[in-house]
Amino acid sequence: MVLEEKEKNEFRKIIEKKLINVPNGKKIFIATDILEQLLFDEVYSYNEQGSLVHEGYKYIAWSGEFLSKIDLSSISFDKVLWGYFGEYDEDFYINNCDGEIEINMSYTNAKIDFSKSARRLKSNYNSIINCNFEGTALSNNILSLSNTLINSNFEKTGVKFKDKVGVCLDCNLSGSDLSKLTMSQFSFTSDDYAFNIFTNLTNTGLKIVIEDTLDEDNNDYLELIKLSMSLGNLDGCYLNGELITPSFRKSSENRTFLSDIDSQIKKYIK
């Protein structure tokens, strides 16, 4: 049964309303061929000549918290585009979509393998943008942080990360295992490898080691780490070997406060 675009939109609205009556933790079954048509729309890709072609890539056209009440275990998420750059995308084109796409796959039983994503297959790296995977099992995935991760939630997924950080902005990595990753103040917030202060790194075990340096920009790098720490986004990480906790943060703030007073008083001491 092939659905027309109008039928897809009508079925989506009807199903969303009906799912309100399904208790949390329960799932309904929808025939795989129908569900795939509701979930996905086609993505065009650019070939070597710059022409738009169909190569079987797709994007999530229907998502939200309601998906947690639908059995997705039989659906293939291979060749899915998890991050679209809109008009700036050099690999893919989505008809009638100039901006980014928001995808909510939280607390589903979807079986997702990022190594088979559209971007990975097309350009050998992953882009994951505006995706919420909270509570969805991703423990079979090992993501390279040198990819593009923006505004995405990986909390309670079990996803694993390796090597150094690439673009990882406004993401929730809380609880992910970054214990093997050690960064200086420069690599933490540099142009090439960067977290930003709004990335949640709580309980990841990330190690930050402050290097002695005469770099004139050092204070700027340190200030970004202090801001991230003050927001609580580094609790459960390590700073120069010390576990960052709320009490550690308070002690650090006190030390900074007293150091500032000392620097002002020194000029009066002969």
Residue with tokens 């923006």: 150
Whether 54 has a pLDDT exceeding 70, the answer reads yes
Question: pLDDT class for 80, splitting at 50, 70, 90?
Answer: very high
Characterize the bridge pairing of strands 167-169 and 148-150: parallel
One DSSP character per residue, the chain reads -PPPHHHHHHHHHHHHHHHTTSPTT--B---HHHHHHHHEEEEEEE-TTS-EEEEEEEEE-S-SGGGGGB--TT---TTB-----GGG-SSEE-TT--S---EE-TT------GGGSHHHHHHSS-EEESEE-TTS--TT-EEETTSEEES-B-TTS--EEESS--EEES-B-TT---TT-EE-HHHHH-SSSEE-TTSB-TTS--EE-PPP---TTHHHHHHHHHHHHHTTTTTTSEETTEEP-HHHHHHHHHHHHHHHHHHHHHTT--
pLDDT digits (tens, 9 = 90+) for 184-242: 887 776 655 567 778 899 999 999 998 887 777 788 888 888 888 888 999 999 999 99
Whether 91 has a pLDDT exceeding 50, the answer reads yes
Predicted local distance difference test score (pLDDT) of residue 59: 96
Query: What is d(CA 52, CA 133) in angstroms, rounded to the nearest whole number?
Result: 30
Where are the chain's structural domains?
Answer: 1-163, 174-264
Average pLDDT over the chain, rounded to an integer: 86
Q: Compute φ and ψ for 171, nearest 5 degrees.
A: -105, 160
Whether 3 has a pLDDT exceeding 90, the answer reads yes
